[in-house]
Amino acid sequence: MNEAELLFTDILGCSRISLYTGGKRRMPEGKCVLIAGVLKRRILGEPLQYILGRTEFMGMDFRVTPDVLIPRPETEILVETALRYAKIPQGAPRRVLDIGTGSGCVAVSLARYLPQSNICATDISAAALRVAAGNAAANGCGVDLFYADIFPPGESGFGMIVSNPPYIPEGQIESLQREVLYEPRGALCGGTDGLDFYRRICAECRGVLSHPGLLIMEVGYGQAEDVRSMISATPGMRVEETVSDYAGIERVIVARRQS
């Protein structure tokens, strides 16, 4: 749906189709006031998902607040890649870890589509973890949430680690479209070159990844080559595949622990 459709279906509580086929009806006064209020905020640059407090991801509904990154359509490629690997001969991994879960969109989707697996997720923001917990409950999924910077302390034996870490270079944040500036800086900023989290994840992943486990990460525009080199330089890890998004941009990197 485009933004106008999202706005009207949400506020009028109707389907997209009925916007076009429902004939001419007078809009109740109260709804007009609501729509005018939303439009005012939207015109000032606030993302529609924050105004409505929700978005859709992998066919599920997620609550979003300014404490969490708004789930992006590209991130569905991260989830789809993880699901594709989870279904290959060895079957679903017993334990999966989502690093930097934010709204919980990745972890909750994996919990829904891999009901046999134990899904764990971390975030350094307590407010984000509260949103993720609400989203897991609302979607009827169990996710073990940990307040932690990257890895959950004392946990290991993950057959799969997934992450969409903050990857925007610090100096580029202010020049991004104004909507992005409403999102939490901690969910966007990946240090001077944007690659800080990949460095930290690569450096420590072998301690928590089982053998042969998979590390599957989303990367930003133009970062794939650097992240592949980083993985290749990590003892015991090798790059397995790079998946591009629908715009042809290398978006998801799959690595395997081989020793």
Instruction: Tell me the β-bridge partners of 86.
Output: none
Is 152 near ligand GLN (CB under 6 A)?
no
CA distances, 176 to each of 89, 181, 182 (Å): 42, 7, 11
* Smaller CB separation from ligand GLN, 8 or 117: 117
Residue 19's Cβ-count burial label (10 Å; 0-12, 13-18, 19+) is middle
* CA 112/CA 103 separation, integer angstroms: 15
Is 71 near ligand GLN (CB under 6 A)?
yes
Residues in the chain: 259
Is 166 near ligand GLN (CB under 6 A)?
yes
Alpha-carbon torsion (6, 16, 73, 152), positive or negative = positive
Is 75 near ligand GLN (CB under 6 A)?
yes
Contact 74, 53 (CB under 8 A): no
Is 220 near ligand GLN (CB under 6 A)?
no
* CA 215/CA 238 separation, integer angstroms: 10
**Considering only CA atoms, which of 58, 112, 114 is closest in space to residue 83?**
114
* Smaller CB separation from ligand GLN, 6 or 8: 6
**Considering only CA atoms, which of 157, 144, 254, 135 is closest in space to residue 211?**
157
Min CB(160)–ligand GLN separation in Å: 15
Pairing of strands 144-147, 118-123: parallel
Is 223 near ligand GLN (CB under 6 A)?
no
Using CB under 6 A, pick the residue from 165, 194, 213, 220 that binds ligand GLN.
165
Is 106 near ligand GLN (CB under 6 A)?
yes
Is 132 near ligand GLN (CB under 6 A)?
no
* CA 59/CA 23 separation, integer angstroms: 28
Is 100 near ligand GLN (CB under 6 A)?
yes
Using CB under 6 A, pick the residue from 7, 105, 143, 217 that binds ligand GLN.
105
Using CB under 6 A, pick the residue from 109, 164, 223, 234 that binds ligand GLN.
164
Structure tokens that stand for 174 in this block? 């202010």
Contact string 184-213 vs ligand GLN (x = CB under 6 A):
---x--------------------------
Is 122 near ligand GLN (CB under 6 A)?
no
Count the site residues for ligand GLN by CB under 6 A: 13
Pick the stretch among 17-25, 44-52, 95-103, 137-145 that binds ligand GLN (CB under 6 A). 95-103
Residues that bind ligand GLN (CB under 6 A): 69, 71, 75, 100-103, 105-106, 164-166, 187
